With several copies, the nearest count.
Chain A
Amino acid sequence: MAIAVDRLQTAPEAEIDQWLRMYRRMLMIRLFEEQVNDLYTRALMPGLAHLYIGEEAVAVGVCEALRSDDYITSTHRGHGHCLAKGARLDRMFAELLGKEAGYCKGKGGSMHIADPDTGNLGANAIVGGSAGIATGAALTAKRMKTGRVAVCFFGDGAMGQGLLYEVMNMASLWKLPVIYVCENNLYGEYTSNVETLAGDMLTRAAGFAIRGESVDGQDVRKVHAAATQIVERVRAGAGPAFLVCNTYRFMGHHVGDVNREYYRSKQEEQLWKTERDPIKLLGDWLGAQNLTDRARLEQLRIEVKSEVEQAVQFALAAPYPGPDKVDQDVYA
């Protein structure tokens, strides 16, 4: 916070651009996900998808602190990470619809979007499954002295997977430039993490001599400020870091998870949606600081909405991969 304010005084223009860029990116994720939900509801999308709505500040705040050649690994709830790291809307939709124009030629689907061009090592449908991959990418960065860092996004549920601790230990021993970002949205599927997480997450990282901190994951400025400091430290060679972003998914575990009252109350959801919406929070702050006006934000929304619409139309019209493609790409 302090940092952001300081910077505003020294470089207000650039800062404002950055806030607006983050605002726009969060909005893009939001509208993308709303469209995904719509595709599902209209039975136009094969399978399911896990929406990132409500958590946009995490991906955007962190990725805004990264270089474009830095690496990320993502999760089953990965659309936000991919978009925040620079993925295109049209190829994202195309992948979700299983079309050849998708990021993975339709072979991956919602849970496996990957893209070398944006440093996206891939979403992962195995909870915690990418912890090794991100740490290995950091090993490469260190060995090849590329100056890159790797960010491993995962949910609070992944704290249950032993793999995470195995790689945290090695990352710490070898001072690898990897940042473990835990998106603590309080639930894994339909189970509150009060039932599944003993002790304190930051202490777990401390057990491997990894510096950890937690941040309000609904405030993109705070996420970004924390991530910026961490990335700088990690890039400079300080070794791995752990960042817990406290957040909430506004929707169900996946698009089909509509009746949720057996595991969380409507009031709880309502509270987060009205009081803790990361897009609204940033918009309100920008307004209160007189850094922008409602019209500008409304304009952004219209722009993004039309981009999203164009992208989804592209994807809907795009062809499926031909049957001959099915056994290609098994081996390199």
Chain B
Amino acid sequence: MPETREITLGEAVREALVEEMRRDSRVFICGEDIAEAGTVFKVLGGLVDEFGPERVLDTPISEAGFTGMAVGAAMTGMRPVVDIMFGDFSTLVMDQMVNQAAKVHYMSGGRWKVPMVMRATLGATRRSGAQHSQSLHAWFCHVPGLKVVLPATPYDAKGLMKTAIRDDNPVVFFEDKMMYRLKGPVPAEEYTIPFGVADVKREGTDVTIVATSSMVQVALGAAKLLEADGISAEVIDPRTLWPLDEKTLVESAKKTSRVIVVDEGYGRYGATAEIASAITEGAFFDLEAPVKRIGAMHVPIPFSPPLEDATVPNEQAVVAAAKALLG
């Protein structure tokens, strides 16, 4: 019988990296304070001991520089994983990710490829202030040539990271920093999870809650509260925002005819808009009401705890939205 342990999301990411680095000597990881320190979130502890400083490469604080180097290393035969400590620092690597990594394959007529992974964190409520709390994944989803992954459980994190590393394209992988300690079952034996396949985290019949990353737990919590009120909520996690499994989302929408989309990125011009639009396009005539979008409040993320908490979608908001939808 296959063994399944409970491990944290951080451990799951770490395991995926370790396994892939053992399997493929071309895989290496670079970033700030990742070697001896094992990253500031302590996710990569011990990696340098096994793989040495050349494959667990501590860099200067030069996000654009080492991301650009990863592009070149990927083109020439390595499979780099770039560690961007806080997703907020994505701002510094947009040129290398968007004008270089994402376009090299196409611009070269398919002749060069860029098999690299950019790992970054997202999520607020850590009291880290406006420059260390953003969830900027929507930007990357907007860019052809990139794939965008947002795992929400240890199981997904491990399986998707392995797929990301084996993918021949640049993949942007966002980890919710508040979820690193979240525990969940992860099989001991090898597995991968394909991109573009949404996961129904909970089945239900009255309302569909599409949730990403940190918001999956919120959605599941809301679903429990709703259950107590006799409302059956289905929770679906797209897991990859690009490719996006529109089919599963649309089918669920057709079934429940009421949909909420929850994402920790800013609500405006964010991921929820695309997901809501895709569902509306596919299930318009089955919907009882417009898809309800819930994202972060459109403000720079405040430091003060009561304010910060107010900016992030929570269970109550999801419950209220569901009840409103159900009239």
Task: Provide the residues of chain B in CB contact with A103, threshold 8 Å.
Answer: 108-109, 111
The contact string, 1 if C-beta is below 8 Å from chain B, for chain A 280-314, is: 00000000000000000000000000000000000
Does A132 reach chain B (CB closer than 8 Å)?
A: yes
> Shortest CB–CB separation between residue A15 and chain B, in angstroms?
32
Asked if A107 meets B305 with Cβ closer than 8 Å, knowing A47-B127, A160-B62, A262-B36, the reply is no
A321 at the interface (CB under 8 A from B): yes
Distance (Å) between the CB of B154 and the closest chain A CB?
24
A102 touches B (CB below 8 Å)? yes
* Given A133-B71, A137-B73, A143-B78, also A109-B306 (CB < 8 A): no
Given A121-B72, A132-B71, A139-B73, answer yes or no on A115-B305 (Cβ-Cβ < 8 Å).
Answer: no
A104 in contact with B36 given A98-B303, A323-B306 (CB within 8 Å): no
Is the CB–CB distance between A140 and B78 below 8 Å?
A: yes
Which residues of B sit under 8 angstroms from A169, Cβ to Cβ? 60, 62, 65
> B277 within 8 Å of A by Cβ?
no
Q: Does A170 count as interface, using CB distance less than 8 angstroms?
A: yes
Inter-chain contact total with CB atoms closer than 8 Å: 278
B257 at the binding interface (Cβ < 8 Å): no
Q: Is the CB of B40 within 8 A of A136?
A: no
Question: Which chain B residues lie closer than 8 Å to A157 at the CB level?
Answer: 60-61
Enumerate chain B residues within 8 angstroms of A114, measured Cβ to Cβ.
Answer: 104, 107-108, 111-112
Does B72 lie within 8 Å of A137, measured CB to CB?
yes
Enumerate chain B residues within 8 angstroms of A327, measured Cβ to Cβ: 297-299
Establish whether residues B109 and A105, one from each chain, have CB atoms under 8 Å apart when the complex forms.
yes
Question: B304 CB to closest chain A CB, in angstroms?
Answer: 3
Complex Cα spacing A47 to B177, Å: 14
Q: Is the CB–CB distance between A190 and B72 below 8 Å?
A: no
A47, A102, A136, A160: which contacts B72 (Cβ < 8 A)?
A136
Asked if B58 and A140 make an inter-chain contact with CB atoms under 8 angstroms apart, the answer reads no
* Contact flag A140-B33 (CB < 8 Å), given A163-B64, A169-B60, A169-B65: no
Closest-CB distance, B179 to chain A (whole angstroms): 18
**In the complex, what residue of chain A is closest to B73 when comparing beta carbons?**
A136
Query: Roughly how many angstroms separate A99 CA and B303 CA in the complex, as a whole number?
Result: 10
B76 & A140 in contact (Cβ 8 Å cutoff): yes
A331 lies within 8 A of B169 (CB):
yes
- Does B175 touch A at the CB level, under 8 Å? no
Q: Is B162 an interface residue (CB 8 A)?
A: no
Q: How far is the CA of A105 from the CA of B76 in the complex (A)?
A: 21
State which of A18-26, A56-64, A191-199 sits at the interface with chain B.
A191-199
A130 to B100, CA, bound (A): 8
Min CB distance, B120 to chain A, in Å? 14
Of the candidates A71, A111, A330, the one whose C-beta lies within 8 Å of that of B145 is A330
Q: Is B231 an interface residue (CB 8 A)?
A: no
State how many angstroms separate the Cβ of A88 from the closest Cβ of chain B.
14
Contacts of A105 in B (CB 8 A): 109-110, 304
Q: Does B272 make an interface contact (CB < 8 A)?
A: no
Contact B107 A326 (CB under 8 A): no
Question: Provided the pairs A128-B61, A134-B72 are in contact, do residues A189 and B40 lie with their beta carbons within 8 angstroms?
Answer: yes
A106 / chain B contacts, CB cutoff of 8 Å: 109, 302-304, 307
Are A126 and B73 in contact (CB-based, < 8 A)? Answer: no
Judge whether A321 and B307 touch: CB under 8 Å: yes
Q: Inside 8 A of B310's CB, which chain A residues have their CB?
A: 323, 326
Chain B's nearest CB lies how many Å from the CB of A208?
11
A109 touches B303 (CB 8 A): yes
Please judge, given known A-B contacts A134-B72, A190-B33, whether A110 and B61 are in contact too, CB under 8 Å. no
**Which residues of A180-233 have CB atoms within 8 Å of chain B's CB atoms?**
188-191, 195-197
- Cβ of B139 within 8 Å of any chain A Cβ, yes or no, is no
Of B40, B62, B75, most buried by chain A (CB within 10 Å of CB) is B62
In the bound complex, residues from chain B placing their C-beta under 8 Å from that of A139 are 69, 72-73, 78
Instruction: Assess whether A250 is interfacial by the CB under 8 Å rule.
Output: no
CA distance A170 to B169 in the complex (A): 25
Instruction: Please pick, from A143, A189, A197, the residue contacting B37 in the complex, using a CB distance under 8 A.
Output: A189
Q: In the complex, which residues 142-171 of chain A have their Cβ closer than 8 Å to any Cβ of chain B?
A: 143-144, 150, 157-163, 166-167, 169-170
Residue in A122, A126, A134 whose beta carbon sits within 8 Å of that of B112 in the complex:
A122
Known contacts A103-B109, A169-B60; is A321 also within 8 Å of B304 by CB? yes
B128 contacts A47, CB within 8 Å?
Answer: yes
Q: Which residues between 84 and 124 of chain B lie within 8 Å of chain A, taking CB atoms?
A: 88-89, 91-92, 95-96, 99-100, 104-115
Q: Are A332 and B169 in contact (CB under 8 A)?
A: yes
Q: Report if B131 contacts A (CB, 8 A).
A: yes
Chain B residues near A326: list those with CB within 8 A.
Answer: 297, 299, 302, 307, 310-311
Q: Are B75 and A98 in contact (CB under 8 A)?
A: no
Question: How distant is A48 from chain B, measured CB to nearest CB, in Å?
Answer: 8
Contact residues, B116-154 vs A (CB, 8 A):
126-132, 144-145, 147
Measured between beta carbons, the chain B residues less than 8 angstroms from A124 are: 100, 131
Q: Mark B289-301, 1 if CB is under 8 A from A, else 0.
A: 0000000011110
Q: How far is the CA of A48 from the CA of B67 in the complex (A)?
A: 28
A residues in contact with B71, CB < 8 Å: 132-133, 136
B104 and chain A: residue at smallest CB distance: A122
Chosen A-B contacts, 19 in total, with CB atoms closer than 8 Å, are: A47-B303, A95-B303, A100-B304, A106-B307, A107-B302, A108-B108, A121-B75, A124-B131, A126-B99, A139-B73, A158-B61, A169-B62, A189-B40, A320-B307, A321-B306, A326-B299, A327-B299, A330-B105, A331-B145
List 12 other contacts, CB 8 Å, given A139-B72, A160-B60: A116-B111, A122-B108, A132-B65, A133-B68, A135-B69, A136-B71, A136-B72, A143-B73, A144-B77, A162-B64, A189-B40, A196-B58
A-B pairs with lowest CB-CB distance, top 9: A132-B68, A136-B72, A109-B303, A166-B65, A47-B127, A98-B304, A106-B304, A160-B60, A105-B109
Interface residue ranges, A against B (CB under 8 Å):
46-48, 71, 73, 95, 98-100, 102-112, 114-116, 121-122, 124-141, 143-144, 150, 157-163, 166-167, 169-170, 173, 188-191, 195-197, 262-263, 320-321, 323, 325-332
